[in-house]
Amino acid sequence: MFAKLAPQYLFALAAALFVAVLALFYTLVIQPKYTQIAALRDDLSARQLTETQYRSASAAVPALRTTVARLETERSEFLRALPPTTRFAQVVDQLRANVNAAGAEMGNLSFNPAATGGVTLPAGVRSVGITMSVSGTFPQLFQVLRSLETQNRFTTVSTLGLQLPTATSFNPPLEGALGLTVYTYDVAQTGAAVPASASTAAPAAGGTP
């Protein structure tokens, strides 16, 4: 059959067959290789980026160690600055002195373990919740609140409630209740972490020292 075809048709048929074989070879062999090469290049780029990040992180390790050591030192200094648990009565005396200095009067005190949202305190740190009733004029109570907030970093004011009686003047006497959290440090307990809800070395609940 091919003998009856003209030479130009045979050439065209051979050329078409060659192109078909070439296209099939490109599709089955060359194109997958290109795809594989592109994937390998992407993988190499990702690995090089990871290596660069690791090298940067490795170079930052000495600085991080220095920072950690500094923070550990600051943490130790902060803990040592907390009032000792064995001297909790002095903390209460200081609270009473602040109230008296403002011209207000302190009433009953009650103590309970302070809630810290489930956070575990550092070893040796104890938290005591104090509810303190106070009375005085608004400027006096404001001065009490300000002194408690600024006196020391180991005392925080959590709640404040005021009761306004029938006004008999422009500056009537007020009664209120302050909720405080006092943090103390017990060196004897530094061997293990102290849960945030742990009981503290404070007077019995409801007592007034």
Instruction: Print the domain residue range for 67.
Output: 2-79
Identify whether residues 69 and 92 lie together within a single domain. Answer: no
CATH label of the domain that carries residue 174: 3.30.70.60
The CA–CA distances, whole Å, from 12 to 3, 6, 9 equal: 14, 10, 5
Each residue's pLDDT tens digit, 59-68 = 888 999 999 9
Each residue's pLDDT tens digit, 116-175 = 666 777 778 888 888 889 998 888 988 888 888 776 667 888 888 888 777 677 778 888
Q: Give the count of alpha carbons within 13 A of 189, CB side only.
A: 20
In percent, the amount of the chain with pLDDT more than 70 equals 81
* Residue 41 resides in a domain: yes
* Residue 112 resides in a domain: yes
Each residue's pLDDT tens digit, 78-96 = 787 788 887 888 888 888 8
Identify whether residues 26 and 74 lie together within a single domain. Answer: yes
Mark which of 79, 105, 134 sits at the end of a domain.
79
Mark which of 79, 111, 133 sits at the end of a domain.
79
114-148: burial string, b at 16+ Cβ within 10 Å, e else: bebeeeebeebbbbbbbbbbbbbbeebbebbbebb
